[in-house]
Structure 1
Amino acid sequence: MKYYNFPFTAICGQEQMKKALILNIIDPKIGGVLLTGQQGTGKSTAVRSMIDILPEIEVHKGCQFQCNLTDDPSDNWCDFCRDQNPQKLRKPINLVNLPLGATEEMVIGSLDIEKIIREGKRAIQPGLLAKANRGILYVDEINLLPDHLVDILLDVSASRINIIEREGVSLEHPSAFILVGSMNPEEGELRPQISDRLGLEVQIKAPTDPQLRAEISIRVLEFEDQPEKFIQKYSIPQEKLKQQIQSAKKKIAEVIIPEELYAQVAILILKLGLYSQRADITFIRCARAHAAFKQRTEISKEDLWEASNLVFNHRVKRFDESISPEILETYFNEIFNDYK
């Protein structure tokens, strides 16, 4: 039975969620996104639908690590890709679901010590982090995942390298992925330190507009009854969004960041009572990605405002509940008043 993804552009409402996911596609170094909200609000549907707006990747047939064929073979290819001269193929990116019951070995993989000693070659039994390379790693109910596994995911997400160690032997492989976590806050909160390391957060609420809820029901039923026909209906907007994302990825490095912006961002961060340097860097990356998505060559006030809504709210909430969204907006307008 063939499985179909609900088209990303057919998702009703939830504009902040879609925006956060798109910005992480444009610049994965933003650091991922945390989707918080009750069950049944479309979080998993949106994550699965990302596959169809991402470009296919070129790999070697049979490679377990999705080696990037544009990288230097001597440094970044696995032994299979270097030694076998395998056939090239294009494939959709992987969406890897990390189950709550996963062990550390399932996540990071393991080493075949005997083979390493016998043949002198890198012998890695790939884990989920290998499969997620150049794809999406999705952790539902991330707040229920053991802290040490969350720390591993965040470390690898930042370094883009997975290191496997056993009995004094250490091997590594690339693991660059878009990290998406989701959770229901009613089932427990994340540690503040973890929240800071996830780039963006979106609080997702079920729509209260009757017309919007009705339209969601109509689209879901249409999709479930005739998925191919429904997908075809959205083929043009899907392709348009895909091209827009690709264009933004190519142009992001050309977006001008005003020199004074770095100091202004630092002032805002300190006024909010935040001290992690990640907040500054993530904010600038997010604003730049938004500017590229909007086909701008310089960061605007709109880009900064969109970034502030995605980067600061969860950090401020967990470190200082006295700072309301209204206070954040006041600080923002005072500091970025000269931007257009």
Structure 2
Amino acid sequence: MYDKAIHVHVARVPLSVSDLANYASTENLSLPDASVSLLILEHMESSRLIRENLNLFMDNIIQNVRLHSKRRTDMTEKYGRSFTGKVALVAGGSRGIGEGIVRRFASDRAVVAFTYSNSEEKAKRLASEIEAAGGKALPIKADSASADDIRAAVDQVVKELGELDIFVNNAGILIQGTIGSYSLEDLDRMLDINVRAAFVGIQAASEQMKDGGRIILIGSNTAVRTAFPGASVYSMTKAALTGLVRGAAIDLAPRAITVNNVQPGPTATDMSAPYAEAVKTLVPLGRMADVSEIAGFVSYLASDEAGFITGSSLTIDGGYIA
């Protein structure tokens, strides 16, 4: 019927009869012959009502008020930070970042087991504090250099607390030394605790883990930026974890178990205190991370909300490697 049509590209602006008339005149169209593709305007005198309805319609699209708000609400309700009924094991959880992760899981209402090597007093005190706050914690003495100890710790957790939902490997050591002076004994110990223990932990935990579980390694941003002399072996061990999580993520994907690697930068702990002022100058944000920030990130990766993240090495370092 019409040989031309007006196609109106809509932003959130008023539409009026005069707008359409002006457009028609610039296109050599007569208004009665114009077909408006967005809405069929049966009565031009009702443009005010049409404008109001159109603006509401666009608001609904832009803000997802009607189209997606119910889904967003459901997501918020579903993906809380409550780990009630879940069992978590943190290898190396008696101090520093590991302690922060244990405390965070306990506050998220998970039942938490954690290993320690030498800090028995601190481990027992941590467990007592969690229990006093209404949580449940199980400290386990285990040497991460021993594959038997790691497997025994996993078996003990399953026996006393139930199948695993979350496994975090935080155990690690730093032995500094330049290439020319580094002994093979120190190299082997670094590999045993920083790399082999992570592999054994993933292997043992995944065998005793529910489908849909979470495995998280705590690496370091030195996997990306070594920065200082004498840290080559440490950097190597942390870089190895990036490859390990990629492969493990593929292997465990059929069971919906995710595997990720968190790479903290400089973090304020007792061990890092002597170097704090020197290190802060290298961080664009001008400070070290708080343990709670690392623990909060780990909590997110352990949640249902992070179910589509796997095989990733994720840096949290205030821009240190930017």
Fold in common (TM above 0.5): no
Q: Which has the higher contact order (CA 8 A, sep 6+)?
A: 1
Higher relative helix content: 1
Q: Which has the larger radius of gyration?
A: 2
TM-score by length of structure 2 reads: 0.30
TM-score by length of structure 1 reads: 0.29
